[in-house]
A = this chain, B = another copy of it.
């Protein structure tokens, strides 16, 4: 994953409406207009949110008749989780180095 991709994913998740769309479409897929009905904004606004999520690879869309079905895609969520886990690991390694330092024989 390039920095730009990671940027896009985090930015896409930095909005409560978009996080809710991801949550919903991970559970069960919905059409764009199904989604739009549940938010207090225009259809076009919801459509843009879905497009942002699609560009970030967090949802996929496929046509069913005149509707576009939106389905959550867990793949990039896992990638992000892995990145955060890496951070967590860095922190733990720092802590254990500090622990080692404290455990050293204090009389060299």
CB within 8 A of A87: which of B8, B77, B84, B90?
A: B77
Task: Classify chain A's interface size.
Answer: 20 to 34
A16 and B26 within 8 A (CB):
no
Distance to closest chain B CB from A4 (angstroms): 8
Taking CB atoms, residues of chain B closer than 8 Å to A13 are 10
Copies of this protein, total: 2
Taking CB atoms, residues of chain B closer than 8 Å to A14 are 6-11, 14
User: Which residue on B lies nearest to A92, using beta carbons?
Assistant: B74
Chain A positions near chain B (C-beta within 8 angstroms): 3, 6-11, 13-16, 19, 22-23, 26-28, 72, 74, 77-78, 80-81, 84-85, 87-88, 90-91, 93-94
